[in-house]
Chain A
Amino acid sequence: MQITKTIKKLVSEGKADRVFGWKKGELGFDTEPALFTEDFDSVVYNSLCGANLCKYMINETKKDGTVLLLLKPCDSRGLQLLTKEHRVRREKIYALGVPCRGKIDVDKISDKGIKGMIDIQENGDTLTVVTLYGEQTVPRQDVLYEKCLSCVGKEHVGCDEVLSPELSEDTTVNDRFAGVTALEEKNPEARFAFWRSQLSKCIRCNACRNVCPACSCVKCIFDNPSSGMDSKANADDFEENLYHIIRSFHVCGRCTDCGECSRVCPEKIPLHLLNRKYIKDIHKLYGDGDEAALLTFTKDDAEPSVVYERGEGHA
């Protein structure tokens, strides 16, 4: 595999002394994030490597030496954010961009009624799913993650080296903001009912927070008794809703739309819709520049005297 070759070459050149990538998961065909100090042949990179690895760098770069980090295009934006916010020591990372043509959501395969999976083989645009009961083929496009169907872009940002960028494919089929627009078109009651039903599924496992590259606080307010927030969120049966609303505000203007929150949610809450609503509004009010609009200030900024009435300017 070309990635393995490149890794070995970079390590032998002294660019890094260890590798953060993916390894084979417990199910045999899935993958999970892993740190390799040797045995680079066991680094796995395929269409099941959905996990964004950049956040592991917070702890990884506290250690000595340099870590070689594998990054998909959407993950590279997360690393950029962590770098900008001084949460990682960028000089201790060798960021290697790896090509991406969309990642596969195993749950979507299960949803097709396919049981007893033991392997997934990729042949171009078709997947062959090997199960205990035989083989089935599935069109690849049918089982991509939501985040891949509305991909932010296949360009890597801020990497030290990008491997075979020509192999990256734009898998976008959806308008990124279509889901938000659909919600905006509902009346407030229907919208409220939608979010209440979605957010009430939350089991507060904190996976969305833990995976989010923007949720990188040393001490999260939801873990800090003196913030008054942990108990605040528990104050009524709307607890989970408050948790998600507060969290989305905290990442507002910083979210890179990597889609990890929705990907890891065991309850399949479409959390990315909250973030994209902010992104859509920020683009509208402040343009879609690189800078975190809510944290930067220019003399030409919209003046606070411009008051947007509820509903106005959002239609």
Chain B
Amino acid sequence: MQRIGVFVCHCGSNIAAAVDVKQVAETLKNEPNVVFAADYPYMCSENGQQLIRNAIKENQLTGVVVCSCSPRMHEATFRKTAEESGLNPYMVEIANIREQCSWIHKDRMTATAKAVVLGRAAIAKVRLNAPLTAGESPVVKRALVIGGGIAGIQTALDIAEAGYPVDIVEKKPTIGGKMAQLDKTFPTLDCAACILTPKMVEAAQHENITLYTYSEIEEVKGYVGNFRVKIRKKARYVHEDLCSGCGVCTQKCPSRKGGNEFNLSLDKRGAIYIPFAQAIPNVPVIDTEQCLKFKTGKCGLCQMNCAAKAIDFSQQDEIVEQEYGAIVAATGFNPISLDKFGEFGYQTYPDVVTSLEFERILNAAGPTKGHLERPSDGKPPKTLVFVQCVGSRDTSGRGKEYCSKICCMYTAKHAMLVREKYPDTEVYVFYIDVRTPGKNFDEFYRRAVEQYGVHYIKGMVGKVYDDGAGHLMVRASDLLANEQLTISADMVILAAATEPDKTARSLATMLTASMDTNDFFTEAHPKLRPVESPTAGVFLSGFCQGPKDIPETVSQAGAAAVKVIGLLSKNKLKSNPCVARSDSLVCSGCSNCEKVCPFGAITYTEAEVNDGTGKEIRRIAVVNEAVCHGCGACTVACPSGAMDLKGFSSNQIFAEVDAICR
């Protein structure tokens, strides 16, 4: 016979303003098995908790119902409170009368009535609760960082510095990510390579960091503290351990038709190539679609010229299996495709480029060796038009509804760099709003306007077209002057919206980490847990969680590292005892639960069963409690009800529903 205590919290006025808490306590006192009921202004305060502890002892309570805020807030608090009084922590149930009641109802009568119903449901559930004991699982003291851009590098360095081994998996042939492609960085205008490459080198040399470049995540299994990951090391056709990085092969390669990805295909590269001079590892990779040996079977010049005998056309992809305690997603971003934005003429005119392409044009290691030359004829442009928000803050459905956040600042940077080096140019920037909050950011933008004389025009560009005489005509509106403009330009630079890398979605599925509608990873709490995914043991670093500039990315990368270090420093993790259980007397062994289990926690065994009708060997389901997350998918897939969730049994849920419908 359960003896249940009910504790109704006012939450100051958060609950008490809309709900008659005294009446809730009095009404719930009449529920079956309830032997104690009280209300208190702040149940989570020390005094409130003491009230619960005393009541448990004085009334020999076997179950506790706290009517308060969401269990996401204080369930852990009250479980601990109960435990301190000798009660099993899983004998505590929370009735959420704040988020699900007082905050959403105005009428006091109905809110009070609903609070009573929610309390009743929790009482009905706790009547069927059974004490549960959390198990323990060990923590693999190794972290995986997915993505080798500045976010992934910084996270890995911070974790490695704390003494834990870290693996970085990068799908491109080199680490460095987008930052490696940038020329200068705002607001200080220091060279991106100058500040990034030392970090790349540090990551490569760090004794605790292992790099898997040109590699992808193949499979993720397991759970917090015990992930098992398969990494596909794609064949480079060059042995990393043999290659000296001399680069002779890249010069000898006769196939020169491949677009140079690092320079966004503004120039060409060989079929065997090192992405850029400071690439890490400094090992070439063969592009099999361009390589004559792969296409025709003839050639092999690179192999003949390789003194280190590192080139191996028969190399195969390799699968590496590794265990990790924590995983960090740092998959970064890309500019969106501008296929749907025909009005800007990006597909038609070579002198209409994206901002990232413009970074490469400005860069000394870029296709023009840093000289400002327009792609069509190599002439220096005199009039440049920058267009912001190309696909950002877009409500037409062609682009992204969000602000890409970095474009205002890099456009100001581009405009400034052009005016600084080429004072004879005219530079126009079309914008919807200029958004430059951040340390020294607005000052930076104002310098572009005031010191460098960049023409900022509020308005959008409607059309870019050719006047027939080789000039790009930019038609736009000036919203402040309320007039239409047509500018004859030599180059147009489009600040294309950003989007999370395409691989993020399939990765999220493997990690069972949630995403928002824009494919950004969702954080566990937008304010209080911004670097943790709701999936335990999965952390977020950089742009994959939302648009960020470099300073913000580095800060978040460090924060993610701290969370990983905190996890890896534990020797054991308490596991959730609310996991699935299979009733061998009822199980038919049909495999339906195994099919729906996202964690691979269910296996089958042939066991002798005696259900009273005689012994029989039956195929029955067995749950691996360490792997089960308690999601409950199996319990609804099981037609016979053999699968049940401890702490959330079907009967408990039915009892709650019955209590609500009573």
CB pair A250–B639 under 8 Å, yes or no, is: yes
CB pair A292–B595 under 8 Å, yes or no, is: yes
Which residue of the partner chain A has the closest CB to B638? A217
Note all chain A residues with C-beta closer than 8 A to B654: 228, 232
Q: Pick the contact of A217: B598, B616, B639 (CB < 8 A).
A: B639
Q: Pick the contact of A221: B506, B616, B641 (CB < 8 A).
A: B641
- Interface positions of B from 582 to 598, Cβ below 8 Å from A: 585-592, 595-596, 598
- Shortest Cβ gap from B128 to chain A (Å): 10
A219 sits at the interface (CB 8 A)? yes
CB pair A219–B509 under 8 Å, yes or no, is: no
CB pair A87–B641 under 8 Å, yes or no, is: no
Note all chain B residues with C-beta closer than 8 A to A219: 585-586, 588, 611, 640, 642
Given that A85-B590, A219-B586 are contacting pairs, would A227 and B595 also be in contact in the complex, using a CB cutoff of 8 Å?
Answer: no
- Shortest Cβ gap from A81 to chain B (Å): 10
Interface size on B, residues (CB 8 A): 28
A296 sits at the interface (CB 8 A)? yes
CB pair A86–B589 under 8 Å, yes or no, is: yes
CB pair B611–A221 under 8 Å, yes or no, is: no
The 9 lowest CB-CB distance pairs between A and B, nearest first, are: A217-B640, A85-B590, A250-B639, A295-B595, A218-B588, A219-B586, A227-B641, A217-B588, A221-B641
CB pair B591–A85 under 8 Å, yes or no, is: yes
Which residue of the partner chain B has the closest CB to A249? B639
A308 sits at the interface (CB 8 A)? no
- Select the residue from B506, B586, B596, B650 with max chain A CB neighbours within 10 A: B586
A224 sits at the interface (CB 8 A)? yes
A299 sits at the interface (CB 8 A)? yes
B651 sits at the interface (CB 8 A)? yes
Note all chain B residues with C-beta closer than 8 A to A229: 641
Note all chain B residues with C-beta closer than 8 A to A232: 654
Note all chain A residues with C-beta closer than 8 A to B596: 295, 297
B618 sits at the interface (CB 8 A)? yes
CB pair B618–A295 under 8 Å, yes or no, is: no
- Interface positions of A from 276 to 315, Cβ below 8 Å from B: 292, 294-297, 299, 305
A34 sits at the interface (CB 8 A)? no
CA distance A94 to B637 in the complex (A): 30
Given that A219-B586, A219-B611, A228-B651 are contacting pairs, would A299 and B591 also be in contact in the complex, using a CB cutoff of 8 Å?
Answer: no
Which residue of the partner chain B has the closest CB to A84? B591
- Shortest Cβ gap from A198 to chain B (Å): 23
Note all chain B residues with C-beta closer than 8 A to A62: 616
- Shortest Cβ gap from B41 to chain A (Å): 39
B482 sits at the interface (CB 8 A)? no
- Interface positions of B from 620 to 662, Cβ below 8 Å from A: 637, 639-642, 650-651, 654
Given that A292-B595, A295-B637 are contacting pairs, would A86 and B590 also be in contact in the complex, using a CB cutoff of 8 Å?
Answer: yes
CA distance A221 to B587 in the complex (A): 11
B619 sits at the interface (CB 8 A)? yes
Which residue of the partner chain A has the closest CB to B616? A62
Note all chain B residues with C-beta closer than 8 A to A228: 650-651, 654
- Shortest Cβ gap from B379 to chain A (Å): 48
Q: Pick the contact of A87: B517, B585, B588, B642 (CB < 8 A).
A: B588
Given that A218-B640, A221-B640, A227-B641 are contacting pairs, would A86 and B591 also be in contact in the complex, using a CB cutoff of 8 Å?
Answer: yes
A242 sits at the interface (CB 8 A)? no
A46 sits at the interface (CB 8 A)? no
CA distance A299 to B592 in the complex (A): 19
Q: Pick the contact of B590: A216, A221, A297 (CB < 8 A).
A: A216
Note all chain A residues with C-beta closer than 8 A to B618: 218
- Select the residue from B587, B611, B639 with max chain A CB neighbours within 10 A: B639
16 residue pairs from A and B, CB less than 8 Å apart: A85-B589, A86-B619, A215-B639, A217-B590, A218-B586, A218-B587, A218-B588, A218-B618, A219-B588, A227-B641, A228-B651, A251-B639, A292-B595, A295-B595, A299-B506, A305-B517
Given that A218-B587, A228-B654 are contacting pairs, would A296 and B641 also be in contact in the complex, using a CB cutoff of 8 Å?
Answer: no
- Shortest Cβ gap from B509 to chain A (Å): 5
Interface string of A228-246 (1 = CB under 8 A from B): 1100100000000000000
- Shortest Cβ gap from A246 to chain B (Å): 10
CA distance A229 to B658 in the complex (A): 13
CA distance A232 to B586 in the complex (A): 19
A220 sits at the interface (CB 8 A)? yes
CA distance A71 to B526 in the complex (A): 59
Note all chain B residues with C-beta closer than 8 A to A85: 588-592
- Shortest Cβ gap from A57 to chain B (Å): 14
- Interface positions of A from 90 to 126, Cβ below 8 Å from B: none
Interface string of B497-521 (1 = CB under 8 A from A): 0000000011001000000010000
Note all chain A residues with C-beta closer than 8 A to B589: 85-87
Q: Pick the contact of B595: A218, A220, A296 (CB < 8 A).
A: A296
Which residue of the partner chain A has the closest CB to B585? A219
- Shortest Cβ gap from B498 to chain A (Å): 22
- Interface positions of B from 351 to 403, Cβ below 8 Å from A: none
| Additional A-B contact list (12), CB under 8 Å, known A85-B588, A85-B592, A216-B588 | A85-B590, A86-B589, A87-B588, A87-B590, A217-B588, A218-B587, A224-B586, A228-B651, A294-B637, A295-B637, A297-B595, A299-B505
CA distance A229 to B604 in the complex (A): 26
Note all chain B residues with C-beta closer than 8 A to A297: 595-596, 598
Note all chain A residues with C-beta closer than 8 A to B517: 305
- Shortest Cβ gap from A307 to chain B (Å): 13
- Shortest Cβ gap from B501 to chain A (Å): 16
Note all chain A residues with C-beta closer than 8 A to B585: 219
- Shortest Cβ gap from A228 to chain B (Å): 5
Note all chain B residues with C-beta closer than 8 A to A296: 595
CA distance A297 to B599 in the complex (A): 12
- Shortest Cβ gap from A62 to chain B (Å): 8
Note all chain B residues with C-beta closer than 8 A to A250: 639
Note all chain A residues with C-beta closer than 8 A to B509: 299
Note all chain B residues with C-beta closer than 8 A to A216: 588, 590
- Shortest Cβ gap from A301 to chain B (Å): 9
Which residue of the partner chain B has the closest CB to A217? B640
CA distance A216 to B618 in the complex (A): 14
CA distance A296 to B651 in the complex (A): 26
Note all chain B residues with C-beta closer than 8 A to A224: 586, 640-641
Note all chain A residues with C-beta closer than 8 A to B637: 294-295
- Shortest Cβ gap from A215 to chain B (Å): 8
Interface string of A190-228 (1 = CB under 8 A from B): 000000000000000000000000011111110010011
- Shortest Cβ gap from B149 to chain A (Å): 24
CA distance A250 to B642 in the complex (A): 13
CB pair B592–A220 under 8 Å, yes or no, is: no
- Interface positions of B from 550 to 602, Cβ below 8 Å from A: 585-592, 595-596, 598
Which residue of the partner chain B has the closest CB to A305? B517
- Shortest Cβ gap from B512 to chain A (Å): 11
Which residue of the partner chain A has the closest CB to B595? A295
Given that A86-B619, A228-B651 are contacting pairs, would A295 and B640 also be in contact in the complex, using a CB cutoff of 8 Å?
Answer: no
Note all chain B residues with C-beta closer than 8 A to A84: 591
- Shortest Cβ gap from B503 to chain A (Å): 12
CA distance A221 to B639 in the complex (A): 8
CB pair A295–B592 under 8 Å, yes or no, is: yes
CB pair B640–A220 under 8 Å, yes or no, is: yes
CA distance A153 to B611 in the complex (A): 39
Which residue of the partner chain B has the closest CB to A251? B639
Which residue of the partner chain B has the closest CB to A58? B588
- Interface positions of B from 306 to 321, Cβ below 8 Å from A: none
CA distance A305 to B654 in the complex (A): 26
CA distance A218 to B614 in the complex (A): 13
Interface string of A140-173 (1 = CB under 8 A from B): 0000000000000000000000000000000000
CA distance A292 to B585 in the complex (A): 25
Which residue of the partner chain A has the closest CB to B589? A86
CA distance A87 to B604 in the complex (A): 13
- Shortest Cβ gap from B65 to chain A (Å): 22
Which residue of the partner chain B has the closest CB to A62? B616
CA distance A219 to B604 in the complex (A): 18
Note all chain A residues with C-beta closer than 8 A to B586: 217-219, 224
- Shortest Cβ gap from A305 to chain B (Å): 7
